[in-house]
Each structure stands twice: as structure tokens, then as C-alpha cells.
A and B are shown apart, each in its own frame.
Chain A
Amino acid sequence: GGTTKDDASKDNGSAAVGKADPDAETKKGLTVAFLPKQVNNPYFTTADKGGEKALDELGSTYKEVGTSSGTDTAGQVSYVNTLTQQQVDAMAVSAQDPGALCTALKQAMRNGVSVVTYDSDTNKDCRQVFVSPASAEDLGRTQVELLAKQIGGKGEIAILSAAQTATNQNTWIDVMKEELKKPAYKDIKLVKTAYGDDDAQKSFQQTQGLLQEYPNLKGIISPTTVGIKAAAQYLSGSKYKGKVKLTGLGTPNDMRAYVKNGTVQEFELWEPAKLGALAAHVAVALESGQITGKEGETFNAGDLGTMTIGADGVVSPGEPTVFDKANIDEYDF
């Protein structure tokens, strides 16, 4: 723990209910812990690196802890508890489960730790601010747009998701379904949502199954980095390469080979580093008393500019980036 932890925890003892002072001085020397869904996951590593960089610039300390499995909720809870014990100043958590972390997070807040969620949210009374990668509406809408454009606005499509319980996947899928009801997409039929559990092999076989079950399938949306990568690998080694379109959320490094060999035309993702950086700024702003997590509060987020907290304490770094053959080599994450 840092040297300031004692006074920090004292004067923020009731951070959640305190009053925001936008002009308060930005504190230095804080310890902010990142607790991703899974350590060693390249996506989260990039995001957390972003957070680390931002914290460096802010003069605070970064640390990362977490479970090596993405579905070890109990493990995540015990990490929250440990962080509470270690009296870090703030934690940025990507929740594996919206409810399971609640008790532990509330306990953390009672002990004066500021709690930010990023990437995946918990119930909203269990954290102060949620840093959303991009708004669910944006993500759902743009992915449907991308695929519709590629398949010429008509035909059967399917979704390849991660686990059935993945909260943000489900939110995006709901938005996509709403979106598809629009008249512009009346010739597109969503035939199935398959779940690959964010496991390369399972996602792979689910893709096979989709293509066997729906021989007329024109396109697949996979709003998960593992899923899109597995689907792309299967398509690129099969007779469907280039014929069945694939889009969704993926990282440029994962997808580079498939974009170049023509399996995939376009896909998108926000920049995870920005997500992490924003989470870091939010955490420091909370600890400094500049914000409390209420709608309308504003704070300075460094390179990202001035940010405003939206409804339900959600803030997001902006629209996702679309990657294609032309721009993919400009990115490295």
C-alpha cells in the first residue's frame, strides 16, 4: 500500500454519498488496482496497459491482479476481498458476474475504496462508475451495418457469441435484434445464435455446425474476440472462405492474417487501451473527490479530453474503430 492510504481512506470514507468538487486537486501517489476478468488475456492486458500509462502520468501507482480463468467468480470475489484488505485506494474491476461481486464490492466501498467497473458492469449500486467500452447501442448498430453492407442487404445470418451468461454480449445481441427489425434490414434473417464459450475449439465447431445446418448462410456476426478469430480460422481453411462473410469484434493482431487473405473484409473494436486509461482517470477523479458518479458530473481525462458521466453512472471513450485491409497495419494490439 502507498503512504497516503490512511488519510485517503479517511477522507473518502463515504465516497459514494459525498459531494463532488470539480475543482478539487488531483491527488498523487494513489494506488489503483486493476482486476480484469482474466489475467493473461491479451485484450485485458492491452486495456490494463492503457490504465498503467495513464496512472503513470497522473503520478499514481498501478497494480494488476486477477484469476487465470475467465469464469472463476469465486476467485474474483476473493481478489476484491484481498484488495480491500490491502487498502488500495481504488479498484477498476471487469466483472465476471453482475451479482456475485456485489457484496464484496460494497464492503470495499464501505472501507473507503473507490470502485470503478470497466468493460463488464456489475449491478449499478455495487460500483460508482462504469466505463463502458462503447455504448451498447453503437456497438449493436454498427456490427449489423457492417455485415449488411458486406452481404448486400439480404440473406440468412447468424451470431456466434461467447458464453450464454456473458452480460455485455447479451446486451449487444439484444440491440442487434432490435436493429434488425428496422425496414432497411427486412431481407436479412437472423437464423440462430450459437455460443462458443470463448473457447477456440468450441467456437470453431459451432461455426462448422452453423454452416452445416444453414447451407445458405450469408454471414456471421461474432461480437467476441475469441469467437471471431476461431470462425475466421475455420472459414479460411474451408470452401466457405470469402463466400460467407464474417464481422464482429476482434483485435487487429488476431485478425490481420484473415483480412489479408480475404476471409474477412471489415470488423471493429474500440481501443482497449483507451478503455483502461479512462478507467484509471475515473478512479483518480473519484479518489480526488472531483466526481462521485452522478449523472452530469464532468472531469478531465487527459488525452481523452473532458468527459461527462451519463445516466446510471456510465461513461464511454467513444465510438468503435472499424478495421479493414487499408488501415489494419496502423494498429498493434
Chain B
Amino acid sequence: MTTTVEPVRPEVAPESVAARRLMDRIFKARELAVIAVLVVMLGATQLSNSEFLSQQGIRDLMLNATILVLVAIGQAMVVITRNVDLSVGSVLGISAFAAGLHLKDGGHPIIAVLLAVGVGALFGVVNGALVSLGKVPALVVTLGTLYIVRGIDSIWVGSRQITASALPDGFVDFGSDGIGVVPYLALLTLAALVVVAYYLRNYRSGRDMYALGSNPEAARLAGVPVRARVMTAYVVCGALAGLAGALYLARFGNVDSNTGNGYELVVVSAVVVGGVAFTGGSGTVYGAALGAVLLTSINGVLPALGVSSVWVTAINGFLLLLAIAVDRVLALRVAGALRKKAAQSRSARHA
């Protein structure tokens, strides 16, 4: 049903337009802040170690980020609908193995990638069905499927593993080659990112996801097909985790029953650092992707700076705290601006 409202003169009060621009800027600043931190961090590292941003170094940075970024995109989508998918690590592991097994038996790389995506999407369907049909807390359900998928994976895989020698050369090369300094994997990830972001911003069903996360009860009353949307989010998340599994295989040339273990907390961290609120309804996948890049870059920066690996865990933790604290302070600024603005528009209203 389309609306019959004719377009009219945009007669929004001028000061509210100005205020909106201000808000826009502050909002973008949240993502800009992550970029700034990233740039400063990489720059400082380069200063102290000139090898860091060599061609090889840049490629490594991008390659390191791709897998986490992919999973974070899907996770962000789920979190925006006020759900969460803790099973991504397990799903990544099992789809990587599925792809590897196919390749080992002489399968075609493209089929293998599709297979991984399919396996991921399948578990996405399971998660989505459990969460939306049963209307049960996503955290508990996906904690359950985290265990279940991990268990199935290790029963199925056993002590087998897929190593680089079992994979076609082209596939393994695909994992590290690229156009210039930009690896193929990064291009693929970027494409996925842009598509998902554009979808969420510009399609009704994408907007529905924000609505759903913002107020589920209202979404139902507004006729949003809640189940379908939740299901979509989970399937996309699963499929991206599956794709990430295939890329993992290409990148690391190795899968066993432990692949992807403990990945869920890293992904959740990335999404949170990227400013996607756990209460749903806000944040963007670009933010989540930036969060993922920031986290993986830290892991690249510390060894390059020669920081002993003893310190890495602690520094990672503190940086995560710093990132969310900075984000929070910015958000408080926005709230302040809103308050001032409310006062202004009130003057306008009763003038």
C-alpha cells in the first residue's frame, strides 16, 4: 500500500535543520572516532616501525580484518533486531570444514564456497526458527546452539583436519593474493558490507529491522512481519559466518574441530566497539565493520611494536573499554545537544 500524501513544501523550521545537521555530524563522529583511533594507532606504529605499512604490511592488515568483518556484519544485523547470535564461531568452524572436505575430495572451489554459505545459512534458519517461533531469549537459544553445533562439529570432524596440501593451489592463493595491495578477500568483504548496509538503509524490510529492535511490541502492532525479519537477520548472519568459514579455509589453509572456537566474544566485542547497541534498533554495519577492523588491527599492531605477547590480552581488554567509554561520552554529548535543541524548538512552537 502506498501513501496518498502529496509532497509538500519542506516547511521545517530553519533552526531545527541546523540542529539536525549538528546531530548528524555528532552521530557520524561516533564512527569517525573509531576511524581516528585507527589512523592514529596505525600512524604511530608506522613511525616506530617502518616495515609496518609496507605493501606486505597493509595487505596483512586487510587480510586479518576480512574474516572478522564478515562475521561482524551479520552479527550487527542480528543485534539491530534486538537479538544475538552466539553460535557464529561454531557455525564458522563447521562450514569451513564442510568446504574443506568438498575441496579435499576434488570439488570445485566455487561450489565449496557456496556449500559453506549454505551450511551457514542452514544453521541460521535453525537459530531463526528457534528464536522467532518459540519467542524465546536469543541469548540462551544461541548459547545452546553454540554448544550443539560445536559438539556436532567435533563429532563429525573428529581428529581429522584439512590442511593446505589437501586444497587446490588456486584456492589457497586466492586467500593471500589480490589486485595490487588489495587482497581478493578484502574486496569480497567490502562488497558484502556495502550490500548489507545499503539494504538496511534503503529497503522497507531493512528499516523494519531497526523498528523491530527499537520496540518489538510496537513493531508487531505496526504490522511488521516480525518472524520473517528475525529469520532474515539470522539467515544472513549464518550465511556470512559460512562465507567467513570458507575464507578462513583459504586464508589459513587449515581447519580442524577447534576452528572458530571462542570467536563469539570477539565478534560481539567488535560489534559493540562499532557502536551497535545491544538493546537493538541503533548502529550501522559500517560501525560494526570498523569495530572489527580496529580490533584486528590492534592484534597486528602490538606484535609489530614488539609488545610482548604477555601484554596483548590485557591491552586488548583495556582498549575495548576505552572504545566503549569514548563512544558513551560522545553519546552523552548528543543527548545534551538534543536537550538544548528541545528548548529551542519549544520556543519556536509557542512563538
Contact = CB atoms under 8 A, between A and B. Distances in A.
Interface string A176-213: 00000000000000001011000011101110111111
B5 to A, nearest CB: 53
Contacts of A204: 252
A40 B256 contact: yes
Given A200-B252, A239-B56, A42 B303 contact: no
Interface in B283-321: 299-300, 302-306, 309-310
Contact of B305 (A192, A213, A253): A213
Contacts of B159: 39-42, 44-45
B253 A257 contact: yes
Contacts of B256: 40-42
A245 interface: no
B165 A208 contact: no
B290 to A, nearest CB: 19
A212 B154 contact: no
A42 B160 contact: yes
A236 B164 contact: yes
Given A201-B252, A233-B253, A238-B56, A260 B165 contact: yes
Q: How large is the interface on A (under 10, 10 to 19, 20 to 34, 35 or more residues)?
A: 35 or more
A256 B304 contact: no
Specify which of B157, B173, B300, B309 lies most central, judged by the most chain A CB atoms within 10 Å of its CB.
B309
Interface string B218-260: 0000000000000000000000000000000000111011110
B153 to A, nearest CB: 10
A45 B51 CA distance: 41
A240 B51 CA distance: 13
A150 B214 CA distance: 62
A230 B254 contact: yes
Nearest to A232: B164
B176 A238 contact: yes
B206 interface: no
A65 to B, nearest CB: 14
Interface in B169-221: 172-173, 175-177
A211 B59 CA distance: 14
Q: How large is the interface on B (under 10, 10 to 19, 20 to 34, 35 or more residues)?
A: 35 or more
Contacts of B310: 164, 195
Given A201-B252, A237-B175, A209 B165 contact: no
Contacts of B306: 192, 209, 213
Given A238-B56, A238-B176, A233 B303 contact: no
Interface in A14-68: 39-42, 44-45, 68
Specify which of B252, B257, B303 lies most central, judged by the most chain A CB atoms within 10 Å of its CB.
B303
Contacts of B165: 253, 256-257, 260
Contacts of A45: 158-159
Specify which of B172, B256, B306 lies most central, judged by the most chain A CB atoms within 10 Å of its CB.
B306
A208 to B, nearest CB: 5
A233 B254 contact: yes
Interface in A239-257: 239-240, 253-254, 256-257
A118 to B, nearest CB: 17
B109 to A, nearest CB: 16
B303 A206 contact: yes
Contacts of A164: 309-310
A215 interface: yes
B311 to A, nearest CB: 11
A244 B157 CA distance: 33
Contacts of A256: 163, 165
Contact of B57 (A192, A210, A212, A230): A212
A229 interface: yes
A238 B172 CA distance: 12
A194 B303 contact: yes
A254 B163 contact: yes
Nearest to A239: B56
A174 B222 CA distance: 68
A237 B158 contact: no
A213 B302 CA distance: 10
Nearest to A215: B51
Contacts of B252: 200-201, 204, 230, 233
B52 A229 contact: no
B309 to A, nearest CB: 5
A208 B60 contact: yes
B49 A213 contact: yes
A69 B147 CA distance: 13
Given A209-B304, A257-B164, A257-B253, A195 B157 contact: no
A213 B304 contact: yes
Contacts of A253: 163, 165
A130 interface: no
A172 interface: no
A40 B257 contact: yes
Interface string B262-284: 00000000000000000000000
A240 B176 CA distance: 13
Nearest to B183: A237
A258 interface: yes
Contacts of A213: 49, 51, 303-306
A258 to B, nearest CB: 7
A244 to B, nearest CB: 12
A212 B164 contact: no
Nearest to B306: A213
Interface string B4-18: 000000000000000
A327 B315 CA distance: 44
A331 to B, nearest CB: 13
15 contacts: A42-B161, A68-B257, A68-B258, A192-B306, A194-B303, A194-B309, A200-B254, A209-B302, A212-B51, A213-B51, A233-B253, A233-B254, A239-B56, A240-B56, A256-B165
Top 3 closest pairs, chain A to chain B, by CB = A209-B303, A237-B176, A257-B165
Interface of A: 39-42, 44-45, 68-69, 164, 192, 194-195, 200-202, 204-206, 208-213, 215, 229-230, 233, 236-240, 253-254, 256-258, 260
Interface of B: 49, 51-52, 56-57, 60, 64, 154, 157-161, 163-165, 172-173, 175-177, 252-254, 256-259, 261, 299-300, 302-306, 309-310
